[in-house]
């Protein structure tokens, strides 16, 4: 099996709680029931393969293979072999015949990740298979019929690739029959808490699962997540390793951007960002403590030294971000 090719079960259940991601999930389930090709766009690490699996598992092909291949790090020759296979003796080292990913995915779904990196010379052959549902292995003469649903994904602007001659326009329109755009993690904040809890379970390794403290949750909610879900997974994996109590604290969180500081200026930006997270976490803790110790919103506002209107706004925003905030009512 090639290193960029895999047929595996999903690493984690689907999490689409935020209205922004829930809307995309609903569309994915609906288009999954059709046979049309799907193009998934979104930033790196946002969960494009997870969404591709949603499309697959919502379809009549759910019990058939789901084959994923990454197009970003393969040479044209290797890519052709991976996709279409070869016959015995077709080149040096071809001791046996090999079925490519299209044949392996027959009856199921083929996920082409980073489709924008597909070698230009291979794109006409891919287009032909999509149009005719037939392929010819390297060194072969007979045509092999395949029944495959293709889902492609990219984090780049393919229209610009088309304009620069790096991607075929006819292939784009063949793959882009239906488009799904996944928002960044920062644009769907209500997904952060359930994803964090899910990832904590993934990295528990048999230990008693710690709680996620209010301060740590606030820090997670305040982070910009340039690496999206992939970065969140890194953060929670490290937190589970560093946590030495029954709850994950802000001090257990190591964000990816703190490791990318080649200059003193960048180091200063890291400290400022960390201070901002700590300030936000402290504010959250103080508000929750005041709410729990008082009998009304106006009394809590007096304790905090802010207006009742400001407190109402802060409470509403925290709830919208999925935080656990006690409800109080003015007398």
Q: What is the pLDDT along the chain (331 residues), one digit of tens a residue?
A: 333 444 444 444 678 999 999 999 999 999 999 999 999 999 999 999 999 999 999 999 999 999 999 988 777 778 888 899 888 888 877 778 889 999 999 999 999 999 999 989 999 999 999 999 999 998 888 999 999 999 999 999 999 999 999 999 999 999 999 999 999 999 999 999 999 999 999 999 888 999 999 999 999 999 999 999 999 999 999 999 999 899 999 989 998 765 433 443 444 444 444 455 555 556 677 787 778 778 888 888 887 778 887 788 778 777 766 666 666 654 4
Of 168, 183, 198, the domain-final residue = 183
The DSSP-derived string for 4-38 is TEE----SS-----SHHHHHHHHHHHHHHTS---E
Of 163, 183, 203, the domain-final residue = 183
Pair (122, 81) in one structural domain? yes
CATH (domain of 272): 1.10.8.60
Task: Count CB atoms within 10 A of the CB of residue 311.
Answer: 21
Domain that holds residue 13: 5-183
Pair (59, 75) in one structural domain? yes
Domain count, the chain: 2
Pair (170, 204) in one structural domain? no
Pair (95, 237) in one structural domain? no
CATH (domain of 19): 3.40.50.300
Measured between alpha carbons, how far is 39 from 181 in angstroms, rounded to an integer? 8
Pair (245, 120) in one structural domain? no
What residues pair up with 39 in beta bridges, in sequence order?
152, 179
Pair (192, 237) in one structural domain? yes
Pair (113, 197) in one structural domain? no
Residue at 330 is within a domain: no
Residue at token pair 């604290």: 249
Pair (174, 204) in one structural domain? no
Pair (148, 228) in one structural domain? no
The DSSP-derived string for 77-142 is HHHHHHHH-B-TTSSTT--S-B--HHHHTTTSEEEEETGGGS-GGGHHHHHHHHHHSEE--BT--S
pTM, rounded to two decimals: 0.74
Measured between alpha carbons, how far is 211 from 267 in angstroms, rounded to an integer? 30
3-state DSSP assignment of residue 75 = coil
Residue at 47 is within a domain: yes
């Amino acid at each position: 099996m090639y290193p960029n090719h895999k047929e595996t079960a999903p690493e984690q259940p689907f999490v689409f709680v935020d209205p922004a991601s829930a809307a995309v999930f609903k569309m994915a389930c609906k288009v999954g029931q059709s046979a049309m090709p799907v193009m998934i766009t979104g930033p790196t690490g946002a969960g494009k393969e997870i969404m591709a699996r949603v499309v697959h598992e919502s379809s009549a092909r759910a019990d058939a293979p789901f084959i994923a291949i990454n197009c970003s790090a393969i040479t044209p020759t290797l890519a052709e072999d991976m996709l279409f296979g070869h016959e015995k003796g077709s080149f040096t080292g071809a001791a046996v015949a090999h079925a490519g990913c299209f044949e392996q995915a027959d009856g199921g779904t083929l996920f082409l990740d980073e489709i924008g990196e597909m070698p230009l010379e291979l794109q006409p052959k891919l287009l032909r298979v999509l149009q005719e549902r037939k392929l010819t292995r390297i060194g072969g003469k007979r045509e092999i019929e395949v029944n495959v649903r293709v889902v492609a994904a990219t984090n780049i602007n393919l229209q610009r690739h088309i304009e620069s001659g790096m991607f075929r326009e006819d292939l784009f329109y063949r793959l882009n029959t239906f488009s799904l755009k996944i928002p960044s993690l920062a644009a769907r904040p209500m997904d952060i808490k359930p994803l964090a809890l899910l990832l904590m379970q993934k990295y528990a390794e048999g230990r008693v699962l710690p709680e996620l403290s209010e301060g740590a949750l606030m820090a997670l909610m305040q982070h910009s997540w340039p690496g999206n879900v992939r970065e969140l997974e890194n953060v929670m994996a490290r937190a589970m390793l560093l946590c030495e109590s029954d709850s994950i604290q802000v001090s257990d969180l190591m964000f990816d951007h703190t490791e990318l500081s080649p200059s003193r200026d960048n180091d200063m930006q890291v400290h400022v960002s960390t201070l901002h997270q700590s300030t936000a976490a402290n504010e959250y803790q103080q508000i929750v403590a005041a709410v729990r110790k008082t009998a009304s919103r106006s009394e809590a506002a007096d304790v905090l030294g802010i207006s009742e209107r400001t407190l109402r706004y802060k409470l509403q925003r925290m709830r919208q971000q999925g935080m656990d905030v006690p409800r109080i009512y003015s007398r």
